[in-house]
Structure 1
């Protein structure tokens, strides 16, 4: 009975020591081997009086060793807890820094997104401008093609249209006439004769195509107190008579007209019988004509 009481007292002592260590009253460092031995010796002095067997002492020693080991383990656990708390604090610090960096990155991302939206708007505007320029360029190219086609058509028409123009002087010999009969004036001084439409040997202009033609002429007579008369003929038909009288030493006449001619029609100037004209290197008497346009 006494052996059981002593064993129970030792267990209560160990339980109280462990409770104090867990609650923070006593730590593992506060419990020393000497104190535990003192408690055991106190129990031993009491047990000597009751004749406790050696087996109990062995059990008590084993319990003492277990108590010491438990105290050391508690100490190590506290150290590990402190270390874990420090690591947790470091992790919290890192996490706070990471959250701050994330917030900064989010702001940067938002700014970049805003700038990207502005750039996209500008790019869309530029694309619209490019499309408008392409459309305008396409319109200009279409107009240019039409213009080129028209130019080519005009060139073709111009190439197909005969080159008809002449400008003539009568002679360098002075007075021509008067004669007993009507004569065709033959202009021998050829300044231009495009298309070879005028014949100096016959004095006739021959129309190469059907069309509208322009003619002009000028004549002079330097004799005193004379009457100057010249006719313009279309084939055998007289279409123009030019007359002038002068009493002071010379007379001149000039005129012009447009005629519609058929291909092969002839035009010429005729000097009536008894009339005369004058010409010299100053080209006082001339005859001119050209094709206005074909019909």
Structure 2
């Protein structure tokens, strides 16, 4: 800027000096002005100088053209500077907007980073919970395997028990068939007589129970007074007898074949009605006999009230 202004001042001075020379002379004042102008231009003027050589004028013209050119360039530079300033302002505005956006982005990035940290923490928690769940799952799998083994064992035992139960049921059915089919139906119950007192006698007699309640299998004979075992087995027998004589002894015996197995005695005082009763289970072979014997010197009584009875039945065959 300063150099352009200096060229412009120099050009004006030279133009003014040329105009004075062409007008026909130089006065004293003019000389003084010329000297001042020469001092400004840095050229020392002498007292006899009145004209400027054509080479100097050519140089001045060249300098003028250069000044004009610099002036034009200066104006173009100002225009460029203004454009650059406008562009700079626009860039600053865009930069400010970018900085605002950048601040927003930074804030969002910070928020995202915080959210990322939270997500990482939650992920670690989920990993821990998942690992715990996996451990629990493994434990449950092991327990399930153990339970399956136990269930399998129980199922095997259940099958064994079922097999044994089926075998037992078959045995029970077989026993039922044997009981209901093979085992004879043997049971009897008899009353003695309606004639009242029997005895006493000078010898022992076999009592013949003649009043029939039941006689399944016809194993007891009221004619002989003998019970004959139709099969080998366990048998139950019971009896009850009454004697109406007062102040006397009563006695009754139960025999298995020729062996006396029960002896019942009792003494009645003034009122009589001396009662004897007993029962037992005997193992009998097929054809064995059981019967009641009234000893000599003793009596027994029965009437329509069934005071004296003899009973027996097969429990099970052997």
Instruction: Give the CA RMSD over aligned residues.
Output: 4.8
The answer for the alignment partner of 1:175 in structure 2 is: 196
Contact 1:244 1:251 in 2 (8 A): no
The Cα shift of 1:103 comes to 3.4
Structure 1 unaligned blocks of 5 or more: 1-12, 14-38
The Cα shift of 1:227 comes to 6.1
TM-score (norm 2): 0.56
The answer for the alignment partner of 1:216 in structure 2 is: 238
Paired residues for 1:160-199 under 5 Å:
160-161=178-179, 162=183, 166=187, 168-171=189-192, 173-175=194-196, 177-178=198-199, 182-186=205-209, 188-190=211-213, 196=217, 198-199=219-220
Deviates more, 1:85-94 or 1:241-250: 241-250
Change (3 A) 1:88 1:294: farther
Matched, 1:156 2:151: no
Partner deviation per Cα, 1:205-253 (whole Å, 9 max, x = no partner):
454543333323222222357665544343x434336364757445444
The Cα shift of 1:196 comes to 4.4
CA distance in 1 between counterparts of 2:7 and 2:173 reads 144
CA distance in 2 between counterparts of 1:109 and 1:59 reads 69
Choose the corresponding residue for 1:279, options 286, 302, 309.
302
Partner deviation per Cα, 1:19-67 (whole Å, 9 max, x = no partner):
xxxxxxxxxxxxxxxxxxxx89847734854321666665554444333
Partner deviation per Cα, 1:255-291 (whole Å, 9 max, x = no partner):
4333222345443324568864222465432223344
Partner deviation per Cα, 1:67-111 (whole Å, 9 max, x = no partner):
333333222222222222211111111122223333344444555
The answer for the alignment partner of 1:93 in structure 2 is: 107
CA distance in 1 between counterparts of 2:69 and 2:235 reads 159
CA distance in 1 between counterparts of 2:312 and 2:139 reads 63
TM-score (norm 1): 0.59
The answer for the alignment partner of 1:239 in structure 2 is: 260
CA distance in 2 between counterparts of 1:174 and 1:126 reads 88
Matched, 1:52 2:75: no
- SS of the counterpart of 2:235? strand
- SS of the counterpart of 2:283? strand
Paired residues for 1:9-28 under 5 Å:
none
Contact 2:187 2:314 in 1 (8 A): no
Structure 2 unaligned blocks of 5 or more: 13-62
Partner deviation per Cα, 1:149-177 (whole Å, 9 max, x = no partner):
58746853762445867473514725253
Choose the corresponding residue for 1:259, options 277, 282, 285.
282
Change (3 A) 1:72 1:169: same
CA distance in 2 between counterparts of 1:118 and 1:176 reads 98
